Structure 1
Protein backbone atom coordinates (compact mmCIF):
# COMPACT_ATOMS: atom_id res chain seq x y z
CA UNK A 1 0.00 0.00 0.00
CA UNK A 2 1.18 3.59 -0.59
CA UNK A 3 3.08 5.80 1.81
CA UNK A 4 3.81 9.50 1.49
CA UNK A 5 7.15 11.23 1.55
CA UNK A 6 8.11 14.30 3.55
CA UNK A 7 7.43 16.57 0.57
CA UNK A 8 3.78 15.90 1.59
CA UNK A 9 2.24 15.74 -1.85
CA UNK A 10 -1.51 16.03 -1.06
CA UNK A 11 -2.50 13.19 -3.38
CA UNK A 12 0.10 10.86 -1.87
CA UNK A 13 -0.89 11.78 1.70
CA UNK A 14 -4.59 11.26 0.94
CA UNK A 15 -3.91 7.89 -0.71
CA UNK A 16 -1.77 6.81 2.24
CA UNK A 17 -4.49 7.63 4.76
CA UNK A 18 -7.12 5.98 2.57
CA UNK A 19 -5.04 2.82 2.80
CA UNK A 20 -4.58 3.17 6.56
CA UNK A 21 -8.24 3.94 7.36
CA UNK A 22 -9.15 0.41 8.37
CA UNK A 23 -8.13 0.02 12.00
CA UNK A 24 -6.51 3.47 12.11
CA UNK A 25 -7.94 4.42 15.50
CA UNK A 26 -6.96 1.09 17.04
CA UNK A 27 -3.43 1.41 15.63
CA UNK A 28 -3.10 4.91 17.06
CA UNK A 29 -4.14 3.77 20.52
CA UNK A 30 -1.61 0.94 20.42
CA UNK A 31 1.13 3.15 19.00
CA UNK A 32 0.65 5.83 21.68
CA UNK A 33 0.24 3.30 24.51
CA UNK A 34 -3.29 4.60 25.09
CA UNK A 35 -2.21 8.20 25.67
CA UNK A 36 -4.21 9.36 22.63
CA UNK A 37 -7.38 9.28 24.76
CA UNK A 38 -5.84 11.54 27.41
CA UNK A 39 -4.53 13.96 24.78
CA UNK A 40 -7.95 14.10 23.13
CA UNK A 41 -9.65 14.85 26.46
CA UNK A 42 -7.18 17.63 27.25
CA UNK A 43 -7.64 19.08 23.76
CA UNK A 44 -11.40 19.08 24.30
CA UNK A 45 -10.93 21.06 27.51
CA UNK A 46 -8.66 23.56 25.74
CA UNK A 47 -11.19 23.94 22.92
CA UNK A 48 -14.08 24.41 25.36
CA UNK A 49 -16.76 23.98 22.66
CA UNK A 50 -20.09 25.25 23.93
CA UNK A 51 -23.74 24.76 22.97
CA UNK A 52 -24.68 26.92 20.01
CA UNK A 53 -21.12 27.15 18.67
CA UNK A 54 -19.93 25.85 15.30
CA UNK A 55 -16.59 24.05 15.39
CA UNK A 56 -14.44 22.91 12.47
CA UNK A 57 -12.43 19.78 13.25
CA UNK A 58 -9.88 19.75 10.44
CA UNK A 59 -7.85 16.67 9.46
CA UNK A 60 -10.41 14.86 11.58
CA UNK A 61 -9.79 11.40 10.15
CA UNK A 62 -12.54 9.07 11.29
CA UNK A 63 -14.15 11.77 13.43
CA UNK A 64 -13.21 10.30 16.80
CA UNK A 65 -12.09 13.74 18.01
CA UNK A 66 -15.14 15.42 16.46
CA UNK A 67 -17.49 13.20 18.45
CA UNK A 68 -15.54 14.04 21.62
CA UNK A 69 -15.85 17.78 21.04
CA UNK A 70 -19.57 17.56 20.22
CA UNK A 71 -20.43 16.08 23.61
CA UNK A 72 -20.70 19.56 25.10
CA UNK A 73 -23.51 20.49 22.73
CA UNK A 74 -21.60 22.36 20.02
CA UNK A 75 -22.20 21.61 16.32
CA UNK A 76 -18.92 20.03 15.23
CA UNK A 77 -17.98 19.27 11.62
CA UNK A 78 -15.34 16.69 10.69
CA UNK A 79 -13.32 17.70 7.63
CA UNK A 80 -10.59 15.64 6.00
CA UNK A 81 -9.15 15.14 2.53
CA UNK A 82 -9.09 11.35 2.91
CA UNK A 83 -12.40 9.91 1.76
CA UNK A 84 -11.37 6.54 3.19
CA UNK A 85 -10.93 7.97 6.66
CA UNK A 86 -14.28 9.76 6.59
CA UNK A 87 -16.01 6.64 5.31
CA UNK A 88 -14.49 4.58 8.14
CA UNK A 89 -15.90 7.03 10.66
CA UNK A 90 -19.40 7.49 9.25
CA UNK A 91 -20.85 5.40 12.11
CA UNK A 92 -19.95 8.16 14.59
CA UNK A 93 -22.96 10.20 13.53
CA UNK A 94 -21.18 13.54 13.18
CA UNK A 95 -21.42 15.70 10.04
CA UNK A 96 -18.50 15.13 7.67
CA UNK A 97 -17.13 16.78 4.56
CA UNK A 98 -14.15 16.18 2.29
CA UNK A 99 -11.96 19.28 2.35
CA UNK A 100 -8.47 20.50 1.52
CA UNK A 101 -7.00 22.65 4.31
CA UNK A 102 -5.51 25.04 1.76
CA UNK A 103 -8.84 25.62 0.00
CA UNK A 104 -11.62 25.18 2.54
CA UNK A 105 -15.15 25.04 1.06
CA UNK A 106 -16.63 27.41 3.63
CA UNK A 107 -17.58 31.07 3.68
CA UNK A 108 -15.60 33.65 5.60
CA UNK A 109 -16.29 33.79 9.35
CA UNK A 110 -18.28 30.54 9.40
CA UNK A 111 -16.99 28.94 12.63
CA UNK A 112 -16.56 29.93 16.24
CA UNK A 113 -13.50 27.71 16.56
CA UNK A 114 -11.23 25.40 14.56
CA UNK A 115 -9.12 22.54 15.80
CA UNK A 116 -6.59 20.08 14.38
CA UNK A 117 -5.35 16.96 16.15
CA UNK A 118 -2.23 15.24 14.78
CA UNK A 119 -2.92 16.47 11.27
CA UNK A 120 -1.26 19.82 10.72
CA UNK A 121 2.15 18.26 10.15
CA UNK A 122 0.70 16.54 7.06
CA UNK A 123 -0.17 19.83 5.34
CA UNK A 124 2.09 20.76 2.45
CA UNK A 125 2.16 24.43 3.54
CA UNK A 126 1.58 24.99 7.26
CA UNK A 127 1.40 28.77 7.22
CA UNK A 128 -0.92 28.91 4.20
CA UNK A 129 -3.25 26.44 5.91
CA UNK A 130 -3.29 28.54 9.08
CA UNK A 131 -4.16 31.63 7.03
CA UNK A 132 -6.97 29.76 5.32
CA UNK A 133 -8.30 28.48 8.65
CA UNK A 134 -8.30 32.05 9.98
CA UNK A 135 -10.44 33.07 7.01
CA UNK A 136 -13.27 30.71 7.99
CA UNK A 137 -13.13 31.44 11.74
CA UNK A 138 -15.08 34.38 13.12
CA UNK A 139 -13.22 37.40 14.51
CA UNK A 140 -12.38 36.61 18.12
CA UNK A 141 -12.69 32.88 17.39
CA UNK A 142 -10.37 30.18 18.66
CA UNK A 143 -7.74 27.86 17.22
CA UNK A 144 -6.58 24.73 19.07
CA UNK A 145 -3.90 22.42 17.69
CA UNK A 146 -2.76 19.16 19.27
CA UNK A 147 0.35 17.79 17.62
CA UNK A 148 3.50 15.77 18.21
CA UNK A 149 6.24 18.01 19.50
CA UNK A 150 9.74 18.17 20.99
CA UNK A 151 10.44 17.22 24.63
CA UNK A 152 12.32 20.18 26.13
CA UNK A 153 14.32 18.04 28.57
CA UNK A 154 17.41 16.68 26.81
CA UNK A 155 17.47 13.08 28.17
CA UNK A 156 13.75 12.58 27.46
CA UNK A 157 14.22 14.07 23.99
CA UNK A 158 17.04 11.60 23.33
CA UNK A 159 15.00 8.59 24.48
CA UNK A 160 11.97 9.77 22.51
CA UNK A 161 13.84 10.20 19.24
CA UNK A 162 16.15 7.21 19.57
CA UNK A 163 13.81 4.59 21.03
CA UNK A 164 10.17 5.65 21.47
CA UNK A 165 9.60 6.74 17.87
CA UNK A 166 10.94 3.39 16.66
CA UNK A 167 8.81 1.47 19.14
CA UNK A 168 5.72 3.46 18.18
CA UNK A 169 6.40 2.84 14.51
CA UNK A 170 6.75 -0.92 15.04
CA UNK A 171 3.55 -1.10 17.08
CA UNK A 172 1.66 0.90 14.48
CA UNK A 173 2.92 -1.31 11.66
CA UNK A 174 1.72 -4.47 13.39
CA UNK A 175 -1.81 -3.15 13.91
CA UNK A 176 -2.33 -1.00 10.79
CA UNK A 177 -4.01 -1.86 7.50
CA UNK A 178 -1.21 0.12 5.81
CA UNK A 179 2.01 -0.61 7.73
CA UNK A 180 4.15 1.56 5.44
CA UNK A 181 2.20 4.63 6.54
CA UNK A 182 3.75 4.42 9.98
CA UNK A 183 7.26 4.89 8.62
CA UNK A 184 6.10 8.21 7.19
CA UNK A 185 4.30 9.15 10.41
CA UNK A 186 7.43 8.59 12.50
CA UNK A 187 9.57 10.54 10.03
CA UNK A 188 7.11 13.44 10.00
CA UNK A 189 7.04 13.52 13.81
CA UNK A 190 10.85 13.62 14.01
CA UNK A 191 11.02 16.40 11.40
CA UNK A 192 8.24 18.55 12.90
CA UNK A 193 9.34 21.89 14.45
CA UNK A 194 9.43 22.48 18.18
CA UNK A 195 6.78 24.27 20.21
CA UNK A 196 8.16 27.79 19.87
CA UNK A 197 8.72 27.49 16.12
CA UNK A 198 5.15 26.34 15.57
CA UNK A 199 3.88 29.17 17.78
CA UNK A 200 5.82 31.66 15.65
CA UNK A 201 4.30 30.21 12.48
CA UNK A 202 0.81 30.49 13.97
CA UNK A 203 1.45 34.14 14.87
CA UNK A 204 2.90 34.88 11.43
CA UNK A 205 -0.34 33.56 9.91
CA UNK A 206 -2.28 36.31 11.69
CA UNK A 207 -3.39 34.63 14.93
CA UNK A 208 -2.88 36.35 18.29
CA UNK A 209 -2.53 35.32 21.95
CA UNK A 210 -0.57 32.23 20.91
CA UNK A 211 0.32 29.90 23.79
CA UNK A 212 1.14 26.24 24.23
CA UNK A 213 0.88 23.50 26.84
CA UNK A 214 3.22 20.50 26.91
CA UNK A 215 1.68 17.06 27.45
CA UNK A 216 3.54 13.88 28.41
CA UNK A 217 6.91 15.62 28.90
CA UNK A 218 6.51 17.56 25.64
CA UNK A 219 6.11 14.53 23.38
CA UNK A 220 2.84 16.25 22.44
CA UNK A 221 1.87 19.92 22.75
CA UNK A 222 -1.40 21.82 22.52
CA UNK A 223 -1.20 25.25 20.89
CA UNK A 224 -4.03 27.73 21.37
CA UNK A 225 -4.61 31.09 19.67
CA UNK A 226 -7.32 33.60 18.76
CA UNK A 227 -8.32 35.37 15.60
CA UNK A 228 -8.07 39.13 16.13
CA UNK A 229 -11.42 40.86 16.63
CA UNK A 230 -12.63 43.31 14.04
CA UNK A 231 -11.26 46.74 14.77
CA UNK A 232 -14.02 49.27 15.48
CA UNK A 233 -14.69 51.76 12.71
CA UNK A 234 -13.26 55.20 13.46
CA UNK A 235 -15.73 57.82 14.58
CA UNK A 236 -16.34 60.51 11.97
CA UNK A 237 -14.78 63.81 12.82
CA UNK A 238 -16.25 67.21 12.09
CA UNK A 239 -14.27 70.20 11.06
CA UNK A 240 -15.14 73.39 12.91
CA UNK A 241 -16.85 75.91 10.65
Structure 2
Protein backbone atom coordinates (compact mmCIF):
# COMPACT_ATOMS: atom_id res chain seq x y z
CA UNK A 1 0.00 0.00 0.00
CA UNK A 2 1.39 3.39 -0.94
CA UNK A 3 1.51 6.33 1.46
CA UNK A 4 -1.34 7.90 -0.49
CA UNK A 5 -3.45 4.75 -0.17
CA UNK A 6 -2.70 4.62 3.54
CA UNK A 7 -3.76 8.21 4.07
CA UNK A 8 -6.91 7.67 2.00
CA UNK A 9 -7.85 4.85 4.36
CA UNK A 10 -7.63 7.29 7.26
CA UNK A 11 -4.30 6.09 8.66
CA UNK A 12 -1.14 8.14 8.88
CA UNK A 13 2.39 7.00 8.27
CA UNK A 14 5.45 7.05 10.45
CA UNK A 15 9.10 6.23 10.00
CA UNK A 16 10.70 2.84 10.48
CA UNK A 17 14.33 3.77 10.02
CA UNK A 18 14.44 5.60 6.71
CA UNK A 19 11.26 3.92 5.46
CA UNK A 20 7.75 5.31 5.77
CA UNK A 21 5.27 2.70 7.00
CA UNK A 22 1.64 2.73 8.18
CA UNK A 23 1.44 3.66 11.86
CA UNK A 24 -0.32 0.38 12.64
CA UNK A 25 2.65 -1.62 11.36
CA UNK A 26 5.54 0.05 13.20
CA UNK A 27 5.13 -1.69 16.55
CA UNK A 28 5.13 -5.09 14.83
CA UNK A 29 8.21 -4.24 12.77
CA UNK A 30 10.09 -2.96 15.81
CA UNK A 31 9.00 -6.04 17.73
CA UNK A 32 10.53 -8.26 15.07
CA UNK A 33 13.82 -6.38 15.37
CA UNK A 34 14.08 -6.87 19.11
CA UNK A 35 12.82 -10.44 18.94
CA UNK A 36 15.76 -11.09 16.63
CA UNK A 37 18.46 -9.30 18.64
CA UNK A 38 17.33 -10.01 22.24
CA UNK A 39 19.83 -12.79 22.90
CA UNK A 40 22.82 -10.72 21.76
CA UNK A 41 21.50 -7.29 22.71
CA UNK A 42 23.82 -6.57 25.63
CA UNK A 43 26.88 -8.07 23.96
CA UNK A 44 26.22 -5.90 20.93
CA UNK A 45 25.83 -2.84 23.16
CA UNK A 46 29.26 -3.50 24.61
CA UNK A 47 30.82 -3.98 21.19
CA UNK A 48 29.07 -1.05 19.49
CA UNK A 49 29.84 1.46 22.24
CA UNK A 50 33.19 -0.04 23.31
CA UNK A 51 31.59 -0.50 26.72
CA UNK A 52 30.85 3.21 27.16
CA UNK A 53 27.09 2.55 27.40
CA UNK A 54 27.76 1.34 30.93
CA UNK A 55 29.06 4.80 31.87
CA UNK A 56 26.04 6.49 30.26
CA UNK A 57 23.71 4.28 32.28
CA UNK A 58 25.66 4.82 35.49
CA UNK A 59 25.31 8.57 35.00
CA UNK A 60 21.57 8.08 34.50
CA UNK A 61 21.28 6.12 37.74
CA UNK A 62 23.20 8.81 39.62
CA UNK A 63 20.94 11.54 38.23
CA UNK A 64 17.83 9.55 39.20
CA UNK A 65 18.67 10.05 42.89
CA UNK A 66 16.70 6.98 43.86
CA UNK A 67 16.29 6.41 47.59
CA UNK A 68 15.38 3.35 49.67
CA UNK A 69 11.65 2.70 49.54
CA UNK A 70 11.06 4.41 46.19
CA UNK A 71 8.66 3.09 43.61
CA UNK A 72 10.50 3.14 40.26
CA UNK A 73 9.38 2.38 36.71
CA UNK A 74 11.92 1.42 34.05
CA UNK A 75 10.15 1.62 30.68
CA UNK A 76 11.54 -0.38 27.75
CA UNK A 77 13.75 -1.94 30.42
CA UNK A 78 14.01 -5.27 28.61
CA UNK A 79 17.30 -6.85 29.56
CA UNK A 80 17.31 -5.34 33.02
CA UNK A 81 20.66 -3.55 33.28
CA UNK A 82 19.13 -0.32 34.59
CA UNK A 83 16.57 -2.27 36.58
CA UNK A 84 19.23 -4.22 38.46
CA UNK A 85 21.01 -1.05 39.56
CA UNK A 86 17.74 0.62 40.52
CA UNK A 87 16.65 -2.41 42.55
CA UNK A 88 19.80 -2.21 44.63
CA UNK A 89 19.09 1.44 45.42
CA UNK A 90 15.42 1.13 46.38
CA UNK A 91 16.22 -1.74 48.72
CA UNK A 92 13.79 -4.35 50.08
CA UNK A 93 11.25 -1.69 51.02
CA UNK A 94 11.01 -0.31 47.49
CA UNK A 95 9.91 -1.68 44.14
CA UNK A 96 11.19 -1.54 40.57
CA UNK A 97 8.79 -2.31 37.74
CA UNK A 98 10.53 -3.19 34.49
CA UNK A 99 8.17 -2.84 31.56
CA UNK A 100 8.77 -3.70 27.93
CA UNK A 101 6.53 -4.38 24.96
CA UNK A 102 8.75 -7.24 23.81
CA UNK A 103 8.46 -10.57 25.68
CA UNK A 104 11.82 -11.84 24.39
CA UNK A 105 13.63 -8.87 25.90
CA UNK A 106 11.75 -9.30 29.18
CA UNK A 107 12.74 -12.95 29.34
CA UNK A 108 16.41 -12.03 28.99
CA UNK A 109 16.06 -9.49 31.79
CA UNK A 110 14.09 -11.81 34.05
CA UNK A 111 16.73 -14.54 33.73
CA UNK A 112 19.61 -12.12 34.21
CA UNK A 113 18.23 -10.63 37.43
CA UNK A 114 17.31 -14.07 38.76
CA UNK A 115 20.89 -15.20 38.17
CA UNK A 116 22.05 -12.21 40.23
CA UNK A 117 19.59 -13.03 43.00
CA UNK A 118 17.59 -9.84 42.40
CA UNK A 119 14.01 -11.04 42.66
CA UNK A 120 12.21 -9.74 45.74
CA UNK A 121 11.69 -6.12 44.79
CA UNK A 122 11.48 -6.35 40.99
CA UNK A 123 8.43 -6.93 38.81
CA UNK A 124 8.41 -7.53 35.05
CA UNK A 125 5.41 -6.30 33.08
CA UNK A 126 4.76 -6.69 29.36
CA UNK A 127 3.32 -3.30 28.42
CA UNK A 128 3.11 -0.75 25.65
CA UNK A 129 4.77 2.50 26.76
CA UNK A 130 2.06 4.46 24.94
CA UNK A 131 -0.63 2.81 27.12
CA UNK A 132 0.95 2.04 30.47
CA UNK A 133 -1.22 -0.23 32.69
CA UNK A 134 -0.52 1.71 35.89
CA UNK A 135 -2.65 4.17 37.89
CA UNK A 136 -1.97 7.89 37.92
CA UNK A 137 0.66 9.13 40.39
CA UNK A 138 2.19 5.70 41.01
CA UNK A 139 5.98 6.15 40.77
CA UNK A 140 8.65 8.35 42.32
CA UNK A 141 11.04 7.96 39.36
CA UNK A 142 10.70 6.72 35.79
CA UNK A 143 13.59 5.83 33.49
CA UNK A 144 13.69 5.01 29.80
CA UNK A 145 16.96 4.10 28.09
CA UNK A 146 17.36 3.77 24.33
CA UNK A 147 13.73 2.97 23.72
CA UNK A 148 11.69 6.05 22.96
CA UNK A 149 13.02 6.45 19.42
CA UNK A 150 11.46 3.06 18.57
CA UNK A 151 7.95 4.09 19.59
CA UNK A 152 5.26 4.95 17.09
CA UNK A 153 4.05 7.96 19.10
CA UNK A 154 6.85 9.13 21.43
CA UNK A 155 4.76 12.13 22.44
CA UNK A 156 2.08 9.77 23.76
CA UNK A 157 4.73 7.82 25.70
CA UNK A 158 5.87 11.10 27.29
CA UNK A 159 2.31 11.89 28.36
CA UNK A 160 2.01 8.42 29.88
CA UNK A 161 5.26 8.82 31.79
CA UNK A 162 3.97 12.13 33.13
CA UNK A 163 0.65 10.56 34.13
CA UNK A 164 2.10 7.69 36.14
CA UNK A 165 4.65 9.80 38.02
CA UNK A 166 3.79 11.17 41.43
CA UNK A 167 3.87 14.96 41.87
CA UNK A 168 7.52 15.79 42.44
CA UNK A 169 8.60 12.68 40.58
CA UNK A 170 11.33 12.79 37.94
CA UNK A 171 11.79 11.17 34.57
CA UNK A 172 15.14 10.35 32.97
CA UNK A 173 15.32 9.50 29.30
CA UNK A 174 18.63 8.31 27.87
CA UNK A 175 18.77 8.26 24.10
CA UNK A 176 21.12 8.56 21.16
CA UNK A 177 21.17 12.12 19.94
CA UNK A 178 23.03 14.55 17.69
CA UNK A 179 26.81 15.09 18.05
CA UNK A 180 27.82 18.54 19.23
CA UNK A 181 31.61 18.29 19.12
CA UNK A 182 33.13 19.71 15.91
CA UNK A 183 34.20 17.01 13.48
CA UNK A 184 32.48 14.17 15.32
CA UNK A 185 29.46 13.94 12.98
CA UNK A 186 31.21 12.62 9.84
CA UNK A 187 33.25 10.08 11.80
CA UNK A 188 30.16 8.95 13.69
CA UNK A 189 28.22 8.55 10.43
CA UNK A 190 31.01 6.49 8.90
CA UNK A 191 31.13 4.21 11.94
CA UNK A 192 27.34 3.94 12.22
CA UNK A 193 26.48 3.17 8.62
CA UNK A 194 29.50 1.10 7.60
CA UNK A 195 30.73 -0.65 10.76
CA UNK A 196 27.68 -1.29 12.96
CA UNK A 197 25.55 -3.20 10.41
CA UNK A 198 28.53 -5.43 9.61
CA UNK A 199 29.10 -5.98 13.32
CA UNK A 200 25.45 -6.95 13.64
CA UNK A 201 25.89 -9.48 10.86
CA UNK A 202 29.06 -11.00 12.31
CA UNK A 203 27.98 -11.19 15.96
CA UNK A 204 24.18 -11.42 15.91
CA UNK A 205 23.67 -12.76 12.39
CA UNK A 206 21.30 -9.89 11.66
CA UNK A 207 22.50 -6.99 9.55
CA UNK A 208 19.05 -5.60 8.77
CA UNK A 209 18.05 -5.07 12.40
CA UNK A 210 21.19 -3.10 13.14
CA UNK A 211 20.77 -1.12 9.95
CA UNK A 212 17.32 -0.15 11.25
CA UNK A 213 18.73 0.80 14.66
CA UNK A 214 21.28 3.10 13.05
CA UNK A 215 18.61 4.71 10.87
CA UNK A 216 16.27 5.16 13.84
CA UNK A 217 18.98 7.09 15.65
CA UNK A 218 19.29 9.50 12.74
CA UNK A 219 15.53 10.07 12.65
CA UNK A 220 15.33 10.95 16.35
CA UNK A 221 14.87 14.67 17.20
CA UNK A 222 17.83 16.75 18.33
CA UNK A 223 18.33 17.71 21.96
CA UNK A 224 16.43 21.00 21.91
CA UNK A 225 13.51 19.57 19.95
CA UNK A 226 13.12 16.65 22.34
CA UNK A 227 13.36 19.01 25.31
CA UNK A 228 10.40 20.88 23.82
CA UNK A 229 8.46 17.63 23.44
CA UNK A 230 8.98 16.89 27.14
CA UNK A 231 7.78 20.35 28.08
CA UNK A 232 4.71 19.94 25.89
CA UNK A 233 3.95 16.70 27.76
CA UNK A 234 3.86 18.69 30.99
CA UNK A 235 7.33 18.27 32.47
CA UNK A 236 8.99 21.20 34.22
CA UNK A 237 12.64 22.04 34.84
CA UNK A 238 13.57 20.05 31.74
CA UNK A 239 17.28 19.85 31.05
CA UNK A 240 19.63 17.61 29.16
CA UNK A 241 23.21 16.47 29.47
CA UNK A 242 25.27 15.77 26.36
CA UNK A 243 27.36 12.64 26.82
CA UNK A 244 30.27 11.63 24.59
CA UNK A 245 30.00 14.85 22.63
CA UNK A 246 26.25 14.61 22.12
CA UNK A 247 26.28 11.12 20.64
CA UNK A 248 24.00 10.37 23.57
CA UNK A 249 21.94 12.76 25.68
CA UNK A 250 20.27 12.28 29.03
CA UNK A 251 17.04 14.27 29.31
CA UNK A 252 15.59 14.95 32.75
CA UNK A 253 12.26 16.48 33.78
CA UNK A 254 10.11 16.92 36.89
CA UNK A 255 6.37 16.55 37.39
CA UNK A 256 5.51 19.53 39.55
> Is TM > 0.5 for Structure 1 vs Structure 2?
yes
1:177 is displaced (CA, Å) by 5.2
Q: Give the alignment partner of residue 55 of structure 1, picking from 53, 68, 72.
A: 72
1:87 is displaced (CA, Å) by 0.9
Query: 1:238 corresponds to which residue?
Result: none
Matches within 5 A, 1:106-117: 106-117=134-145
Instruction: Structure 1: give runs of 5+ residues left out of the alignment.
Output: 229-241
Is it true that 1:85 corresponds to 2:121 in the alignment?
no
Is it true that 1:223 corresponds to 2:216 in the alignment?
no
Q: How many residues align?
A: 225
Instruction: Structure 2: give runs of 5+ residues left out of the alignment.
Output: 1-14, 115-121
Contact 2:197-2:208 within 8 A present in 1 as well: no
Is it true that 1:18 corresponds to 2:46 in the alignment?
no
Query: 1:231 corresponds to which residue?
Result: none
Query: 1:186 corresponds to which residue?
Result: 214
Q: Deviations over 1:38-63 (max 9, x none)?
A: 11111111112111111110011111
| Greater fraction of residues in helix | 2
1:204 is displaced (CA, Å) by 0.8
Query: 2:4 corresponds to which residue?
Result: none
Contact 2:71-2:96 within 8 A present in 1 as well: yes
User: Structure 2-normalised TM-score?
Assistant: 0.83
Query: 1:68 corresponds to which residue?
Result: 85
Query: 2:10 corresponds to which residue?
Result: none
Q: Give the alignment partner of residue 5 of structure 1, picking from 16, 22, 46.
A: 16
The structure with the larger Rg is 1
Query: 1:28 corresponds to which residue?
Result: 45
Contact 2:193-2:211 within 8 A present in 1 as well: no
1:179 is displaced (CA, Å) by 3.5
Contact 1:61-1:80 within 8 A present in 2 as well: yes
SS at match of 2:39: coil
